[in-house]
Amino acid sequence: MELSTYGMSRERGYLSDFEIDEISLPPEFDTIVEAADTLSAILTTGRTRHWLEQLPQPDMAAFLAEASDAQIRVAMVRYSFLVQAYVWGEDAAPTALPAMLAVPIDALAEKLGQAPLLPYSGYVLDNWYRLDKSKPIALDNIAMRQNFLGGMDENWFVLIHVAIEAEAGRALELATELVAAVDDGDAERVETLLQTMDTVWDRINAHFDRMPERCDPYIYYQRVRPYIHGWKNNPATPDGLIYEGVERHGGKPQAFRGQTGSQSSIVPAMDALFNVTHENDALREFLAELHHYRPVPHRRFVEDLAEASDLRAFARQQSSGLRDAFNACVEQVARFRTRHLEYAASYINKQVASGAGNDTDVGTGGTPFMKYLKKHRDENRAQLV
């Protein structure tokens, strides 16, 4: 397995191979880009739908026939933010998404093989750039391009994820090297690679630990979280949304899960590598559904890694040192999941205020997240060798 086969790299992991500030859309998208750039101002008026309903509807077939992959993904970033703002930018959610938004985002999503709303890839993976192009991807040198309301808390929430994704590039490279080393029966190399993986996860977890530095739980709950919900399993949109003008949906309401960090492919790749499994229950069904919200190449990487990895069986047959190194890595992922659980408690459960589509018991992906996160973590931790 080679990361490049899946559009990935050691330096960037699942992050885009472009930086969003360097990608321009054709002139017919100028009004769209301007609206996206001024989204904070539009949301502040309280008349979000009034302004967004005035947008033109570009010829998406012509655009998709000529556009580069980077342009398509940047257009998805822009439109997915506009769509989320239209749905959640006023007190009550609508029952339909108007054609000037529904048709473009559906066309983009169909081309990308994703759902027509804000995905994790649009929120994080394709929505960043370096301030100094000569410097690395690091928290002191990256910025978020597209925002909702903007501000330090929203930026930091996304940029922590960007930093984690960049750091994880080395873990993903190590995963491919571990598969090769197991195939070669090279126990010494496997143990060395696992020890290196452990140190990489120290850095990943150190990034995650920094979330509270510049993202306040109250601000997150009130000003960041409301805009990233979906319209599946959401009492504010019990039937989903009608995508007006989209023939393939036949005028019927569509229900899609909201943007969530669980759409990141890092932990699923680690589960695939370490052969960590989950019970066949509602949680597993949810994870299987979320898999289809990821970019297609990332899905293929996780699937291919799961098929290729025999690391757990190999570790069981080796020395205590190798087994300890394996278990240390499994525990690192469990530590990551524990931190996620802690943040869910402090950033959501402890926030007693509520707003439209901002339920404390249901995550942005439309699930009882506390229950799922605990079970996820416990199943992970229980699978040492």
Q: Which tens digit of pLDDT belongs to each residue from 115-147?
A: 999 999 999 999 999 999 999 999 999 999 999
221 close to 348: Cβ distance less than 8 angstroms: yes
- Does the pLDDT of residue 61 top 50, yes or no? yes
- Does the pLDDT of residue 219 top 50, yes or no? yes
Q: At what angle do helices 266-273 and 152-183 cross, to 10 degrees?
A: 20
At 341 the pLDDT is 84
Least confident of 43-52, 115-124, 318-327, 342-351: 342-351
Q: How far apart are CA 120 and CA 17, in angstroms?
A: 16
The SS3 of residue 236 is coil
Which pLDDT band, with edges at 50, 70 and 90, does 43 fall under?
very high
Q: What is the mean pLDDT of residues 185-207?
A: 98
- Does the pLDDT of residue 357 top 50, yes or no? no
Which pLDDT band, with edges at 50, 70 and 90, does 257 fall under?
very high
Place of tokens 């904070």: 40
- Looking at the chain, the whole-number percentage of residues with pLDDT higher than 90 is 83
At 285 the pLDDT is 79
pLDDT mean across residues, the chain:
93
Which pLDDT band, with edges at 50, 70 and 90, does 376 fall under?
low
Domain count, the chain: 1
At 356 the pLDDT is 37
Q: What is the CATH number of the domain that holds 20?
A: 1.20.58.480
- Does the pLDDT of residue 280 top 90, yes or no? no
At 15 the pLDDT is 98
* Helices (H), ranges, 232-355: 266-273, 282-291, 296-308, 311-316, 320-344
- Does the pLDDT of residue 354 top 70, yes or no? no
> HSE (CB half, 13 Å, CA atoms) of 171?
29
204 close to 171: Cβ distance less than 8 angstroms: yes
At 355 the pLDDT is 47
- Does the pLDDT of residue 279 top 80, yes or no? no
Going by C-alpha positions, the residue among 232, 261, 289, 247 that lies closest to residue 347 is 261
At 306 the pLDDT is 97
pLDDT tens for 11-21 read 999 999 999 99
Which pLDDT band, with edges at 50, 70 and 90, does 375 fall under?
confident
Q: How far apart are CA 179 and CA 186, in angstroms?
A: 10
For strand 242-243 and strand 96-97, is the pairing parallel, antiparallel, or unpaired? parallel
- In the chain, DSSP finds a helix count (H) and a strand count (E) of 17, 4
Residue 146: which domain range? Answer: 3-381
Q: Which amino acid is at 276?
A: V
242 close to 254: Cβ distance less than 8 angstroms: yes
Least confident of 175-189, 273-287, 359-373: 359-373
Q: How many CB atoms lie within 10 A of CB 302?
A: 21
Which pLDDT band, with edges at 50, 70 and 90, does 331 fall under?
very high
Q: What is the mean pLDDT of residues 3-12?
A: 98
- Does the pLDDT of residue 366 top 60, yes or no? no
Going by C-alpha positions, the residue among 308, 333, 338, 325 that lies closest to residue 385 is 325
At 379 the pLDDT is 80
Positive or negative torsion for Cα 156, 234, 334, 303: negative
